[in-house]
A and B are shown apart, each in its own frame.
Chain A
Amino acid sequence: MGYDPANPMADRITDIGPPHYEQFFPPVVKKNYGKWLYHEIIQPGVLMHKGESGDECYTVRVGCARLISIELIREICDIADAHCDGFVRWTTRNNVEFMVDSKAKVQPLMDDLKSRGNKFPVGGTGASVSNCVHTQGWIHCHTPATDASGVVKAVMDELFDYFTSHKLPAQVRVALACCLNMCGAVHASDIAILGIHRKPPMIDHDAITGLCELPLAISSCPLGAVKPATVKNSAGEDIKSVKVNAERCMFCGNCYTMCPAMPLADPDGDGIAILVGGKVSNSRSMPMFSKLVIPFLPNTPPRWPETVAAVKNILETYAKDARKYERVGEWAARIGWEKFFEKTGIPFTIKSVDDYRLAYDTWRTTTQFKFTSHIK
């Protein structure tokens, strides 16, 4: 049978959902489901989980781009077939995990991975920089302020040594979102790389009538900066369009999402902001938001040297100064953010002082602070 274009609704199947997860479990996982006792990281990238039964599951974690080809997936399948009974999994952070049921099978698997060039770096466990989660960027998105895969490749090349080792005070989660929409939520990451726009939208009065519903464009603005207006198009006709109060624009791009006749992306306007000190885990301290420490770095493809250097500087200053177990945000909170700026050498600018909603929460309302070089 198969699909019949003349009769597309014939035998239609809908709403069957994903396949049941259990059929994809390696035997050692299926047998010990819910009966795991403890785990150890026997070397960077290699975990051992011990079951109540005495069984052991060895996991080799490898870094992987988020953007991958079916050729690479097939190669991953070949590895899974050769070593792991044909099973494999992906982690939330785009790592690939190969699991085997005895220690003896680990080295042959590692040798195989190593024989394939730099495609499968082992690491991302414990006090490391794990894989950098990210969004689409210029490869597939219509609203980005920067690329994603390219920036991440450049950053991970530079931090590679921290991916394959355990020498940091705690795990460091680096994440990238290519615009403020954050379809990849980076707002609770140790180091967040965020694409930002800095020019208000242009208005294409010749296209807006055919392209947009004006009420949707107007209501999309969180700050009411988009207003209805009657203007002349390039043919000299009066048409209903919109105007933008540029002084109120927060460069979020919501209007462009609802109305493609309001493009705001720009080669010079767009770039990257760096936010620091977020965490998701409830361990020790409560979950924390990342805080804006560098308001703007330019887009400099292909390797974004300014962004790479900024991330590395923050990471290495933290690595040198923080206590064992301390996440980036816990370290900055302990030493104080004035010390964070002093130690990292990042210039403090007024852009880090909040003037959006709920801003007061971040203003200092105590006489307690440290005298750093900022106080002249």
Chain B
Amino acid sequence: MALSKDELKAAILEKAMTAPKPQLYVKDFYACDPDAKPRDVKNAANDLVKEGKMDFWSSGSTTMYAAKGRAKDEEHR
């Protein structure tokens, strides 16, 4: 049984705040709900960015996610 969208978002945010490494790939969130489709997980994670709870972190070629304030950034070092 897949989680509801709100439950999925809560699980993603929990993982983003507690995972040992701050930056996570979208695939790292797939485990938050093994029954969810990759696209639903991606959409939920992107929603959390829109809500200001997570940030995108980009190497230019790769984009990762981080809970607000956790990622390392040039201007905030």
Interface residues of A (CB under 8 A from B): 181, 210-213, 215-216, 257-258
Contacts and interface: CB of A to CB of B under 8 A. Distances in A.
B61 A181 contact: yes
The B interface, classified by DSSP as helix, strand, loop or mixed, is: loop
B42 interface: no
Interface in B20-77: 21-23, 59-62, 72, 77
Interface of B: 21-23, 59-62, 72, 77
A257 B61 contact: yes
14 contacts: A181-B61, A210-B72, A210-B77, A211-B72, A212-B72, A213-B21, A213-B22, A213-B23, A215-B21, A216-B23, A257-B59, A257-B61, A258-B59, A258-B62
A216 B59 CA distance: 11
A215 B21 CA distance: 8
A275 to B, nearest CB: 22
A292 to B, nearest CB: 23
Contacts of A212: 72
Contacts of B21: 213, 215-216
B18 to A, nearest CB: 15
A215 B60 CA distance: 19
Nearest to A260: B74
Given A210-B72, A210-B77, A211-B72, 6 more contacts: A213-B22, A215-B21, A216-B23, A257-B59, A257-B61, A258-B62
A258 B59 CA distance: 7
Contacts of B62: 258
A258 B63 CA distance: 11
